[in-house]
Each structure stands twice: as structure tokens, then as C-alpha cells.
């Protein structure tokens, strides 16, 4: 074997190594009519507990152009989140949700950091701008994701084993039952969910008036 081929073989072996230990789950979420549903949260609860340290990655829900960005955020229980205001006007962000209630009176720029230590859905609002709404799904697992515009999401690096796969969408009319799957390194199954959720209708937003917020 040439030196170059040996190096290549070695690289391929390294690239393949994580596959031997972990599995990938694909989920496809559609609405009641079968159309792809974006912004659906999908998370996997392992049947047997395994190492699930909370990833210490900074998570921010920004206010930009007088909207919450992103519209839907998903984090593991134990994650801290900030709410930076990137607009040239003030916002007053709040939540009354049992999973996490807080209030950030009129501010711009940086916000305090809040710990999300209970599972559940947190609904975000702004006292100044009625149309602003955002959601944080706090899930008790490091294995989660959010569907793209094609209704697809991929959960990577799941240890082999049995999982209950849950789904949720902010506009859903009813809770959806979880699906049980068994994952091994050789397969990357696709789980399909149908969530009865009407299309998101953005609320009217008046033109920006810098003098009046």
C-alpha cells in the first residue's frame, strides 16, 4: 500500500469510528393535510438512562425587527438562555409559563441570563409589542431538534438502544403520542409524525416608529 493510500485508509477508519457507537434518527413531521411542518420540536427519551450532561453552549433568543428570533427554541433542562435585544428600540420580555416565569423590564442590548430548570413549554411575549410571540421547549434529554421548512429533522449521535420519540408544535390542536423506536448503529430509521396544526399566521405589525418604541 502506498503511503498516501495508507493515510487515506486511516482517515476513513477515523471517520467511520463514531458510526460504530452511535445511531442517527430522522424524523419527518407533516400537518393534518400531509404538508411538511416547520418549527416542530422532536426529542428522544432513552429507555435506559445514559450519560446526558447538559451541553454548556450559549443559547440566545434575540429580538430582531420586533420579533423573537428564533420563533421556536429547544434546549435541554438545565440550560441558561439570554434574550439580547438587537433592535434600536426597547422591549419588555416576559413569560407567565409555569415551566419558567420571568420578566425583563424595558431594555436594549444584553439581558440577564435565566436558567431553564424544568421541562415544559415557555411562551415568550413583549409588553410593548402585542404581536411578538416566541416559544422555548425545555426537554429532559440532550437528544432534540427542530424541523426545517421540509418538515425534517435529524438527531445524531444517539447511543444504541430504545427511545420514545416525542413531538410538539406551537400551533398543535392536540398532543401527539410518542413513538417507540430501537436504534442501533447499522440503521438510521425515519419516524413520521402528523401534527394537526394550522399554518402560522403572522400578526399585523405596524411600521416602526422610533419615537414611540
Residues that bind Cu ion (CB under 5 A): 91, 126, 128-129
Q: Is the CA virtual torsion 98, 55, 147, 110 positive or negative?
A: positive
Q: Which residue's Cβ lies closest to Cu ion? A: 126
Work out how close the CB of 135 gets to Cu ion at its nearest, in angstroms, rounded to a whole number.
16
- Contact at 8 Å (CB) between 52 and 163? no
For residues 121-160, b (16+ Cβ closer than 10 Å) or e, as one string? bbebbbeebeebbbbbbbbebbbbbbbeeebbbebeebbb
Work out how close the CB of 207 gets to Cu ion at its nearest, in angstroms, rounded to a whole number.
15
Nearer to Cu ion, 28 or 111 (CB): 111
Nearer to Cu ion, 129 or 146 (CB): 129
Nearer to Cu ion, 47 or 96 (CB): 96
Helix (H, G, I), strand (E, B) or coil at 38: coil
Work out how close the CB of 84 gets to Cu ion at its nearest, in angstroms, rounded to a whole number.
13
Please count the other Cβ atoms lying within 10 Å of the Cβ belonging to residue 178. Answer: 16
Residues in the chain, total: 213
Work out how close the CB of 212 gets to Cu ion at its nearest, in angstroms, rounded to a whole number.
12
Nearer to Cu ion, 19 or 64 (CB): 64
Amino acid at each position: 500500500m502506498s503511503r498516501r493510500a495508507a493515510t487515506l485508509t486511516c482517515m476513513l477508519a477515523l471517520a467511520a469510528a463514531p458510526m460504530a457507537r452511535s445511531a442517527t434518527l430522522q424524523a419527518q413531521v407533516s400537518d393534518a393535510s400531509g404538508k411538511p411542518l416547520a418549527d416542530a420540536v422532536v426529542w428522544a427519551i432513552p429507555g435506559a438512562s445514559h450519560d446526558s450532561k447538559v451541553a454548556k453552549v450559549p443559547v440566545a433568543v434575540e429580538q430582531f425587527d420586533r420579533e423573537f428570533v428564533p420563533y421556536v427554541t429547544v434546549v435541554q433542562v438545565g440550560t441558561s438562555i439570554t434574550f439580547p435585544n438587537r433592535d434600536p428600540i426597547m422591549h419588555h420580555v416576559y413569560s407567565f409559563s409555569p415551566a419558567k416565569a420571568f420578566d425583563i423590564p424595558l431594555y436594549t442590548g444584553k439581558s440577564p441570563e435565566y436558567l431553564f430548570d424544568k421541562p415544559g413549554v415557555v411562551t415568550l411575549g413583549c409588553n410593548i409589542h402585542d404581536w411578538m410571540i416566541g416559544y422555548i421547549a425545555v426537554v429532559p434529554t440532550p437528544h432534540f431538534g427542530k424541523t426545517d421548512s421540509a418538515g425534517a429533522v435529524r438527531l445524531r449521535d444517539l447511543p444504541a438502544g430504545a427511545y420514545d420519540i416525542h413531538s410538539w408544535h406551537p400551533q398543535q390542536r392536540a398532543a401527539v403520542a410518542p413513538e417507540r423506536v430501537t436504534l442501533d448503529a447499522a440503521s438510521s430509521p425515519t419516524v413520521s409524525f402528523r401534527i394537526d396544526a394550522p399554518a402560522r399566521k403572522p400578526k399585523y405589525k405596524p411600521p416602526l416608529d422610533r419615537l414611540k418604541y
